[in-house]
């Protein structure tokens, strides 16, 4: 698989080096290079990113604080000149930590760790089968049948997805939200946020760009707003 990634570093030379390393690595696809966490936020609002190479010491918003603000769908490899930040990095579930200055051999070792992680997720996803109007999902060492009609919405949680059902407890399964999205019928299910897919047949209330399911408010992000508005426009009286 190809891993879509971005690089974030406020130092031009360091940014240039890591861009070169990414472009040299066959299984990495560079979507954007950013000079600040705020630039990266703009990219994340528009693109589905798998992996981020994040410098820790940046002005205005540090790499650690930036990562803490995310929903953790993306995996992180930190880059920094300060070894004392290693512990902080792993507290936010970073895949790896590159201490500057580092060479391509060290970079490739970290990138391969990320590849192994995503390969594991992809293998788990193979266990999902779509049959007519239901899914077979591997959950808690069992294969569970889930009717598409029973799904309210699906939430991405790091390596897992949570399938929220009408009258049953949610189903947790090891896979990426992106891979599940590709298996669901697009005329019935729509991704409205990088962390959420909704069952369009179950959308009852919309308030201020948020879809309401009971006490849960699901935001419709800018990246998906036009597509969702098109869906509403076809049904608006």
Q: Give residue-wise pLDDT tens across range 157-210.
A: 877 889 999 988 899 888 888 888 888 888 899 999 988 999 999 999 998 889
CATH label of the domain that carries residue 216: 2.40.50.1020
Residues 91 and 200 in one domain: no
Please give the residue that has the higher pLDDT: either 68 or 158.
68
**Average pLDDT score, the chain:** 85
Q: What is the pLDDT of residues 49-59, one digit of tens each?
A: 899 999 988 88
CATH number reported for the structural domain that contains residue 68 in this entry: 3.40.50.2300
Last residue of a domain, one of 92, 107, 124: 124
Q: Indicate if 147 and 204 belong to the same structural domain.
A: yes
Instruction: Tell me, yes or no, if the pTM score tops 0.85.
Output: no
The token pair at 126 is 């193979």
Residues 116 and 29 both lie in one domain: yes
Judge if 167 and 76 occupy the same domain: no
Domain endpoint, select from 95, 124, 153? 124
> Does residue 102 share a domain with residue 187?
no
Q: Do 45 and 119 share a domain, yes or no? A: yes
Q: What's the domain range around 173?
A: 129-233
Per-residue pLDDT at 89: 54
Which one has a higher pLDDT value, 71 or 212?
A: 212
- Average pLDDT, stretch 95-101? 89
Q: Quick check: 66 pLDDT over 80?
A: yes
What Å distances lie between residue 224 and 12, 194, 237, CA to CA?
32, 9, 22
Whether 7 and 120 map to the same domain: the answer is: yes
Residues 16 and 117 in one domain: yes
Rounded to whole angstroms, the Cα distance separating 196 from 217 reads: 11
pLDDT surpassing 80 at residue 223: yes
Confidence of residue 29 (pLDDT cuts 50, 70, 90): very high
Same domain, 62 and 150: no
45, two tokens: 């609002």
Higher pLDDT, 20 or 57: 20
Q: Which of 124, 154, 188 is the last residue of a domain?
A: 124
CB 207 within 8 A of CB 160: no
Domain count, the chain: 2
Looking at the fold, whether 11 and 93 belong to one and the same domain comes out as yes
**How many beta carbons lie within 10 A of that of residue 188, not counting itself?**
15
Higher pLDDT, 124 or 37: 37
Which band of pLDDT confidence, cut at 50, 70 and 90, is reported for residue 126?
very low
The residue with greater pLDDT, 89 or 118, is: 118
Tell me the two tokens of residue 118.
Answer: 């995503």
> Do 24 and 52 share a domain, yes or no?
yes
pLDDT at 234: 79
Same domain, 92 and 114: yes
Residue 131: predicted pLDDT: 65
């Amino acid at each position: 698989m190809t891993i879509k990634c971005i690089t974030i570093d406020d130092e031009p030379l360091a940014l240039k080096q890591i861009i070169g390393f990414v472009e040299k690595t066959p299984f990495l696809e560079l979507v954007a290079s950013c000079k600040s966490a705020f630039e990266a936020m703009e990219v994340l609002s528009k693109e589905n990113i798998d992996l981020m190479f994040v410098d820790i010491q940046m002005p205005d918003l540090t790499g650690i604080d930036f990562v803490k603000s995310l929903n953790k769908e993306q995996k992180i490899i930190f880059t920094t000149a300060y070894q004392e930040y290693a512990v902080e990095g792993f507290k936010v579930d970073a895949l790896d930590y590159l201490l500057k200055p580092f060479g391509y051999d060290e970079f490739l070792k970290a990138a391969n760790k990320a590849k192994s992680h995503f390969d594991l997720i992809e293998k788990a996803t193979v266990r999902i089968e779509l049959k007519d109007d239901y899914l077979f999902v591997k959950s808690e060492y069992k294969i569970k049948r889930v009717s598409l009609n029973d799904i309210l919405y699906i939430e991405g949680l790091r390596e897992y997805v949570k399938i929220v059902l009408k009258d049953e407890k949610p189903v947790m399964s090891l896979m990426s939200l992106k891979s599940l999205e590709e298996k669901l019928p697009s005329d019935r299910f729509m991704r409205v946020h990088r962390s959420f897919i909704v069952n369009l047949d179950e959308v009852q209330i919309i308030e201020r760009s948020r879809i309401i399911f009971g006490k849960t408010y699901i935001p419709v992000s800018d990246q998906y707003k036009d597509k969702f508005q098109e869906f509403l426009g076809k049904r608006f009286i």
